[in-house]
């Protein structure tokens, strides 16, 4: 059931856009042919191709908690089983919950981009 019955305006992708673009250093672009949001080149949210949900970066623990707490709002498809993302139904998510989720996704993406690129050390032969 959507939020309208509680007197809360449903979230639209324009709402997502405003929330995402209010964060520092965010750029709007595309990902898999849909609008998405990146910080320092790292994707943290995008519109799902069905147009009814957004795909938001979330670690596995957070995703499991969201799925258990509110499966009407948060879900995944088989494609996302092994990836740190959660799908969020726009018609069901509370604006405050989405804002918090986007902030966390933004922080995680920004932190990843601050880390220096990992270089692999040359492998040593041990059979000598």
What is the predicted pLDDT for the residue at 128? 44
What is the predicted pLDDT for the residue at 10? 86
What is the predicted pLDDT for the residue at 112? 83
Is-above-0.85 flag for pTM? no
What is the predicted pLDDT for the residue at 126? 47
* φ and ψ at residue 21, rounded to 5 degrees: -70, -15
Residue 118 — very low, low, confident or very high, per pLDDT cuts 50/70/90? very low
**Chain segment 60-93, per-residue pLDDT in tens:** 999 999 999 999 999 999 999 999 999 999 999 9
What is the predicted pLDDT for the residue at 60? 97
What domains lie within the chain, and their CATH numbers?
Answer: 8-111 (3.90.1150.30)
């Amino acid at each position: 059931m959507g939020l309208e019955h509680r007197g809360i305006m449903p979230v639209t992708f324009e709402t997502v856009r405003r929330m995402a673009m209010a964060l520092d250093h965010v750029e709007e672009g595309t990902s898999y042919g849909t609008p998405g949001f990146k910080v320092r080149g790292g994707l943290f949210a995008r519109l799902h191709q069905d147009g009814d949900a957004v795909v938001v970066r979330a670690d596995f623990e957070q995703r499991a908690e969201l799925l258990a707490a509110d499966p009407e709002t948060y879900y995944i498809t088989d494609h996302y089983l092994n990836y740190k993302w959660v799908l969020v139904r726009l018609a069901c998510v509370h604006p405050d919950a989405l804002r918090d989720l986007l902030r966390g996704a933004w922080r995680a993406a920004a932190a990843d981009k601050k880390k220096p690129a990992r270089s692999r050390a040359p492998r040593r032969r041990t059979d000598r």
